[in-house]
A and B are shown apart, each in its own frame.
Chain A
C-alpha cells in the first residue's frame, strides 16, 4: 500500500518548507508532519477522529501560524477596505470583526478572510496561508490606485497564531490569560468577548490579540502574537486544558470539523472563478454599502440567480468516504464534482460539498457520487451538517 500523506522526512524538498514557532512542539507531541501550502504542519497527532471528537466534546488546540496577517491603517483605511472587500467594515467598532471576502472584477473570490477593526483607523486582516502572495499583490495594487492616507503592511512573518476550540475552552482559558484586556476594546476577561470580538490581553511580558472566532463550528478563540508568546501560550494552554480533555489537533481534524460546519475552504469551495453568491456566502456581501470590486456581478447574481450552486450531500448508500474531485451525478448525468468530502466523525457518515447546476440544487434531491467507477446514492441536505446547540 502507499502510505499517504507522505511523512515529510520522505520529502526531498523539506528544506524549502517553512516551519512555525511550534514546530519542535509538534514533534515532541508526536505530530505527523506534512506539507501544507509551503509549510510543514501537523496533519494529526493521535488520529483525526480522536482529535475531532475532542473538539466537539471538550477542546482542541491548533497551530494556525501559517495564516497571514495584513494590517491596513490610515484615514483612508475604512473607505479602501469597503471598496475592496464584500462585507461592510463600517459596521465594525474597534474590537469587532467580521467574515468577509475579497473579489475580482468578475466577482470571483481572491480570498475569504476575517477583518478586525483594532482602532478607528487600523484594521487587521487574517488571510489564508496559500493566498498571502496573491492577496498582498492585489491589495497593494488596489491601494496604490486608491491613494490617500493608507498604509498596508504584510505582517505575516511577524506573527504566530493558535486556535483553541471546543465547549470546554471557556472553563480553563482564563487560567492562562487571566487579566482584563489592555487594548483594542474593554473586556474584563477573554470569556467576556462575544463572537467575532477581539481585544489585546497581557500574557507574560507581552500582549496577544484574542478573537472569539474559529473554523470548527464550536465556541473558541483564535490568538495572534509573537513567536515566543504563542509558543509559551501553546504549552501553558495544553497544561491547563489537559484535565478538561484538551488535545492538540492537526489540519486533518480542522478539515473534518470545518466540513461538518460547511465553512468553505479556499481552493476547494472558493476560487477566482467562483463567486460568494454561488458559494452560498452571499450573507457576507453587503450590496447596500456602495461600490466595491465585483459588486455589479454579485448584484446581478443576487437578483437574477446563478448558474452553479454549492450543495451539501450525505451518503445514503454504504460507500467509501466521498472525497474531493469525485464526480457527482443527478438524474443519470454527470453534473459536477465534489469540492470537499470526508467521513464525518460526528455523523458517522460520508458527507460532502460540491457545485451543481443551480436548477438542481434543491435540498432533498437524490444525487450520486462516483467512486472508483461505481456510483453510490446520496441526498442533498440543508447546510450545515453540524450546528452546535447553544450553551
Chain B
C-alpha cells in the first residue's frame, strides 16, 4: 500500500481527506497509525454535528494514549464508519480504506487548498 495515497489531501496533524462529489471522507494517515500502534478504541462524532476546520471530531485510542482527531476542513458530519467502532484495529490495518472515520459535507471546499499535497505530507513525515 502507498503510505501517502495521491488522491488525498493531508493535514499537518496527520489526518487525510478524500473528496468525492459533495462529501469528503476523513481518516488518519498510515504514518499516524504506525506511530500510535495498537488502536483499541475509536470514538466518532454524532451524525449531523457541524465541525470547523481544526476542531476535534473523533478520538482514537491506542493502548498507550488517547489522540484527538481534527477535522481537516469544515462541514457537517453526514456519515460515520461503524466498522472501526466494532473493530478498531481496522485503523491500523487499512488506515486509508476500511479504517476511515467520518464523512463531511464540506461547508467551504476552498479550505482544501490550505491542506498539504501528498508530496508535501510525504516530506513532512520524512523530515
| Chain A residues near B (Cβ < 8 Å) | 1-5, 32, 43-44, 46-50, 252, 256, 319-321, 323, 342-343, 345, 372
User: Across the interface, do B63 and A342 meet the contact criterion of CB distance under 8 Å?
Assistant: yes
- Nearest-neighbour CB distance to chain B for A98, whole angstroms, equals 32
If A1-B15, A320-B43 touch, whether A43 touches B64 (CB-CB below 8 Å) is: yes
User: Across the interface, do B36 and A323 meet the contact criterion of CB distance under 8 Å?
Assistant: no
Residues in B whose Cβ lies below 8 Å from that of A49:
37-38, 63
A323 to B43 alpha-carbon distance, docked (Å): 15
A252: contacting residue among B14, B41, B64, CB under 8 A: B64
User: Across the interface, do B63 and A48 meet the contact criterion of CB distance under 8 Å?
Assistant: yes
If A1-B15, A49-B38 touch, whether A252 touches B63 (CB-CB below 8 Å) is: yes
A43 to B62 alpha-carbon distance, docked (Å): 13
Ranked nearest first, the 9 interchain pairs of A and B with the lowest CB-CB distance are A47-B37, A48-B63, A1-B67, A343-B40, A320-B41, A49-B38, A47-B38, A1-B69, A3-B35
Which residues, 67 to 108 on B, are CB-close (under 8 Å) to A? 67-70
A342 to B59 alpha-carbon distance, docked (Å): 16
- Nearest-neighbour CB distance to chain B for A16, whole angstroms, equals 23
User: Across the interface, do A321 and B68 meet the contact criterion of CB distance under 8 Å?
Assistant: no
B63: contacting residue among A32, A319, A321, CB under 8 A: A321
A320 to B40 alpha-carbon distance, docked (Å): 8
Residues in B whose Cβ lies below 8 Å from that of A44:
37, 64
Which residues, 24 to 59 on B, are CB-close (under 8 Å) to A? 28, 32, 35-38, 40-41, 43, 59
Listed by A's residue number, 26 A-B pairs whose Cβ atoms lie within 8 Å are A1-B13, A1-B14, A1-B15, A1-B28, A1-B32, A1-B70, A2-B68, A3-B67, A4-B67, A5-B64, A5-B65, A32-B35, A44-B64, A46-B37, A47-B37, A47-B38, A47-B63, A48-B62, A48-B63, A48-B64, A256-B63, A320-B43, A320-B59, A343-B40, A372-B43, A372-B59
Residues in A whose Cβ lies below 8 Å from that of B66:
320-321, 323
A343: contacting residue among B32, B60, B63, B69, CB under 8 A: B63
A372 to B64 alpha-carbon distance, docked (Å): 17
A1-B32, A252-B63 known; 14 other A-B pairs, CB under 8 Å?
Answer: A1-B15, A1-B28, A2-B13, A2-B67, A2-B68, A4-B65, A5-B64, A43-B64, A49-B38, A256-B63, A320-B41, A321-B63, A323-B66, A343-B63
- Nearest-neighbour CB distance to chain B for A338, whole angstroms, equals 13
A323 to B65 alpha-carbon distance, docked (Å): 9
Residues in A whose Cβ lies below 8 Å from that of B35:
3, 32
Residues in B whose Cβ lies below 8 Å from that of A372:
43, 59
User: Across the interface, do A48 and B38 meet the contact criterion of CB distance under 8 Å?
Assistant: yes
- Nearest-neighbour CB distance to chain A for B87, whole angstroms, equals 12
Residues in B whose Cβ lies below 8 Å from that of A342:
63
| Most chain A beta-carbon neighbours within 10 Å: one of B61, B64, B67, B68 | B64
A3 to B40 alpha-carbon distance, docked (Å): 16
Residues in B whose Cβ lies below 8 Å from that of A1:
13-15, 28, 32, 60, 67-70
User: Across the interface, do B14 and A3 meet the contact criterion of CB distance under 8 Å?
Assistant: yes
